[in-house]
Amino acid sequence: MKLVKSVLSASILAAAAQTAVAFETDVSASIRVAYIGGDGHDTAPVVGETGWHDAYSNVTFNASEDLGSTKLSYQFSLWADPTGSLDNDMNEKGVRTHFIQLSGDFGAVSFGENWSPFYNAIIWGAGADRFNGYYTGYGVPGFDSRTTDTVFYSSPDINGLKINASIGTNSTTTKHGATQFDDHRELALTYQLNDNIMIAAAMTDGDSDAQKDKGVGISYTKDAITINANYMTTEEDGVLYSGDYSNLYAQYDINDKTSLRAAIGSADGYVGGNYTLGASHQYDESIRVFAEYYSDDTGNYPTVGFRIDID
């Protein structure tokens, strides 16, 4: 895998050397803050405390350069919690994404920390992780949405079919560097049946049972309506995560500024049966306000919050 890492890095650098590079750069920020009420969460004391809490705020730097038939790009995104409840240091724990990418007619190849194929296809693409607050319809196995030190590949659109895969290196860990992921691999397929229906299937694999997940899903969109459904299973057999997981998500856009969302899920893990209700309003291009109510076997969590996007 060290050879794969070296070849990929050399290929990207060779592409950059073919032209005088003058990168286009952009810095953006998304400030997301919510007030969490209700019961709090026994298993996650910092996240679960009632009161003001971060809801995935971040600062992101992007750079890119067109190289004729290919494009070289780089992204670095850092947690930026305005409430001070999380660690904002520029260490592995504070990084959201950090990758270099080469894209073209062949698709896209990247290396670093990025969103995983399984997450993009099943958990978000055909799933319920589409709310604004911290507590959402994220009823999934003990799976991490991003992996570090990983080679990612995304295919071009092949008559509606897209293939996404990733292969870990000897240094690959879960997001924030929390757990070593040895021999980690992921594969995800999505197929756009028509203008309204997308189906998805994905799997993850590796040396530990916690790395072995499978999932299928379907997404239906038409006009103002979005409906997603997914089913996932894991070979992990722990106290928090085990067995089967399923989610049903629905969204109705009243207009181009106001949306209603709802999700219901079933999980063999510690959250058990769960549901989320939510409403959001886009005040202008930068400001969004939202109210949500999440409930599972650990408690009930009403939330109100706001999001400010700065480009």
Structure-token pair, residue 235? 């070979």
Structure-token pair, residue 232? 């996932």
Give me the chain's average pLDDT, please.
85
- Burial of residue 113 (number of CB atoms within 10 Å: 0-12, 13-18, 19+): buried
Structure-token pair, residue 84? 């001070």
What domains can you pick out in the chain, each with its CATH number? Answer: 2-310 (2.40.160.10)
Residues constituting the chain = 311
pLDDT exceeds 90 at position 192? yes
Mean pLDDT comparison of 18-22, 146-150, 261-265, highest-scoring range: 261-265
Q: Kindly report, residue by residue over 93-103, the tens digit of the pLDDT.
A: 678 899 999 99
Straight-line distance from the first to the last Cα atom of the chain, in angstroms, rounded to the nearest whole number: 37
- Residue 13 has φ and ψ, to the nearest 5°, of -65, -35
pLDDT for residue 255: 97
Q: Which helix (H) or strand (E) holds 13?
A: helix 2-17
pTM for the model: 0.87
User: Which of 232, 39, 23, 13 shows the shortest CA–CA distance to 121?
Assistant: 232
Q: Kindly report, residue by residue over 166-188, the tens digit of the pLDDT.
A: 998 887 777 666 677 788 899 99
Q: Kindly report, residue by residue over 201-252, the tens digit of the pLDDT.
A: 999 988 877 788 899 999 999 999 999 999 998 887 766 677 788 999 999 9
Percent of the chain at pLDDT exceeding 70: 82
Q: Kindly report, residue by residue over 103-143, the tens digit of the pLDDT.
A: 999 999 999 999 999 999 999 999 999 999 877 766 777 66
What does each C-alpha distance from 215 to 183, 203, 211, 254 come to in angstroms? 20, 6, 13, 31
At 211 the three-state DSSP class reads helix
